[in-house]
Structure 1
Amino acid sequence: MSRRARRPAGWPRAAILALIVTLPVPAAPGQAGPQVVPQVVPQAGPIVAVVSQQAGVVTLIDADAAVVVAEIAVPRVPAGIAASADGRTLYVTHPDPGLVSRIDVAGRRLEASFRVGREPFAIAVIEEGRALLVTDWAGNALIRVDAATGRETGRAATGRSPAGLVVDAAAGRAYVADRESQQVSVIDIAAMTRTATIATGRAPFALALSPGGERLYVANVQSGDLSVIDTATHVETARVKVGLMPYGVAATPDRRAILVANQQGGTVAIIDAASDRVIARTRLGDYPEGIVALDSRRAAMASWAGDAVVILDIAGARGTDHIAVGAGPRSLVVLPAPEDDGPAAEGVRP
């Protein structure tokens, strides 16, 4: 049976369970050692880190040169990924083994893996790298942990099956997509309490914030649309039809465009941020998954069934490069350059 045939339309637990192995915590020395691909060109451009769920690797890509610069083995069934603000550390979730892994980017190596909740899924780095926020799909919670030790330091209740996560650091808030509750939970990070819920379309999954944090964009998998939410009022101001099963969303830094990856539709929808209107759709990759803006002109998208990362020319609504990666790429993050404030991250799906 092909990978596409055994991929269910909802939560692909059957596919995930097929990849489970028993792992010690932390990983035994040498168990998940790095597999470094020789660097072809200097890393001058943005570096994209992509999780390949079936291959059990994190791949680093120079987006300008469109080449793989490193491949790092991680524990099985990786799902979500986040980067520290200095770009030196990556964190990866593994829902079925219940692990979060920490990767030393410069050393190209897995440093440690620790247990978090029941099924850690989406992840974000907060408090200048000292802490992590992790959604627990089975525990219906957002968990704060110490980034160095993995020790839980706080927990907030969410709706059922919390998936995507995005943080507004300036406002001290986290937004969690509660997939089976058809809502977004708003979490006060300092108090680790839920302060509000916002109704969305069916099966909200991936989240993105506008550059200034004024708008929250929510990809609703089952209703095939995008909820546009005013973060000051918690009111949905628009609902935009985007395509079949949207699983990735990103906002461009220039505030002009919203990008939505439609997994079953095999397309990326480009939305004008001012009018909330779809201005282009382009077929891109095979089973599009996570998507992240590299800058205001380009984006990178994971092609799950194509085992590739595709670079998108936004203005031209076309793919410019296909970079082969390990089997089952799902979520991506851009490693910030030294002058950047932080990474642009994308949610992922159980």
Structure 2
Amino acid sequence: MKWAVALAVLALAWSAPVTAGTLLALCQGAAEVDVIDTASAVVSARVKVDKVPAGIAISSDGTAAYITHPDIGLLTRLDIKTRTVAATAHIGGQPFGIAAAPDGVVIYVSDWSGDRILRIDARSLAVTSTLAVGRSPAHLAIDPDGRTLYSADRESDEVSIINTLDFIRTAVVPVGRAPYALDASHPELVAVADVRSGDIALINKKKQDVRRIGGMKMPYGVAFVPGRGLLLATDQQAGTLNVIDIAKETIVQRIQLGGSPEEVVVDAAAGRAYVAEWFANRITALNLDDFSIVARTPVCDGPRVMALVP
């Protein structure tokens, strides 16, 4: 049974420009993208997409959002300025995780059932190359410089490291059980949420060794807090957001949320973290200074992943 959600009257300002301070919430149940103005914590637009969307990535220039639909083998490109579906492509398999290269030319998509990564032309949505990885690749993360891609190969209990220049798999790093989400934005580390072993794996990018931080039931999302030595991790089963001191490898704060929290996104410039609460149908904003809750925005049915518009 879904959690009860307070009804709210939402002003849908379809003509308002999209600027920095815009968060896209992708709702699996509603097959919809809700555009949230983060300053006012209000949904400013709702865009319908095809059924069962799973992953979302934003182009580096902030003009396009790319969305995967694993149940129907579809990839969607959304025009963020006009808030319309600009293109779709049937790429086959079960496209799930997605990452956009900083050059704006390439996007990468994991094929859950095909145990592979697809390299796709961002403009035409045509598949230009494929690469075999471990079993059931879930989410993807790309280094800020665009040279290295990481794939959470859930059923292999490992992370694939991929050189994007040659599009080859250069290493395989064993982590915990069922790696699902990743964050590669840290200059030295990759954070991995291991949903079945209840821990976070920290991969050293240079050495490719692993530290694991336990104490969770089912971590589903991870996000580094730049310059603070902190990592945020959602625990879906416990209904919490956990604040982890990376150096001490310790959970230093647990914020009770409820609603099966999944992805967490950090906007360091705005001093905010955002959590998608799947069963509560809302996005919760927290202050990065003390992790107090500053806003809760009701959204469409089944929000699981989000993306900030640069």
TM-score, normalising length: structure 1: 0.82
Work out the CA distance in 1 between the residues paired with 2:253 and 2:54: 29
CA distance in 1, matches of 2:245, 2:132: 34
- The answer to whether 1:292 aligns with 2:265 is yes
Question: Which whole-Å CA distance do the structure 2 matches of 1:266 and 1:138 have between them?
Answer: 29
Q: Show the counterpart of 1:84.
A: 59
Residue number among 233, 255, 264 corresponding to 1:260 in the alignment = 233
Match of 1:315 among 289, 293, 308: 289
Cα distance change of structure 1 residues 242 and 114 upon mapping to structure 2, 3 Å threshold: farther
TM-score (norm 2): 0.93
Question: Equivalences for 1:234-273 in 2 at 5 Å?
Answer: 234-236=208-210, 238-273=211-246
What CA distance in whole angstroms lies between the structure 2 residues aligned with 1:86 and 1:172?
Answer: 18
In the alignment, what sits opposite 1:65? 40
Partners of 1:143 and 1:44 lie apart in 2 by 30
Match of 1:192 among 167, 173, 179: 167
Counterpart of 1:329, as a letter, is P
Note closer, same or farther for the CA distance 1:115–1:321 as it changes in structure 2 (3 Å cut). same
CA RMSD of aligned residues (A): 1.9
Q: Among residues 247, 256, 278, which one is paired with 1:304 in the alignment?
A: 278
The equivalent of 1:206 in structure 2 is: 181
- Counterpart secondary structure, 1:180: helix
Deviation at 1:37, TM superposition (A): 2.0
- Counting only pairs closer than 5 Å after superposition, residues 1-350 of structure 1 correspond to structure 2 as 2-3=1-2, 37-38=12-13, 46-126=21-101, 128-170=103-145, 172-212=147-187, 214-236=188-210, 238-295=211-268, 297-336=271-310
Structure 2 contact 152–182 (Cα < 8 Å) conserved: yes
Q: How many residue pairs align between the two structures?
A: 302
1:274 CA drift (Å): 2.8
1:168 CA displacement: 1.2
Are the equivalent residues in 2 in contact too, given 1:176–1:186 (CA < 8 A)? yes
2:194, 2:288 → 1: CA distance?
22
Listed as ranges, the gaps of 5+ residues in structure 1 are 5-35, 337-350
Structure 1 residue 127: deviation in Å?
A: 5.4
Going from structure 1 to structure 2, the CA distance change for 1:37 and 1:242 (only over 3 Å counts) comes to farther
Q: Indicate how the Cα distance of structure 1 residues 37 and 77 shifts in structure 2: closer, same or farther if over 3 A, else same.
A: same
Alignment check: 8 A CA contact 2:274 2:286 kept: yes
Q: Distance in 1 between matches of 2:225 and 2:140?
A: 18
Cα distance in 1, alignment partners of residues 125 and 308 from structure 2: 23
Q: For 2:158 and 2:50, locate their aligned partners in 1 and report how far apart those are by CA, in whole Å.
A: 31
Contact 1:159 1:180 in 2 (8 A): yes
- Change beyond 3 A, Cα 1:39–1:242: farther
Q: How far off is 1:331 after superposition?
A: 0.4
The answer to whether the 8 A contact 1:81-1:333 is kept is: yes
Shift of residue 43, structure 1, vs aligned partner: 6.1
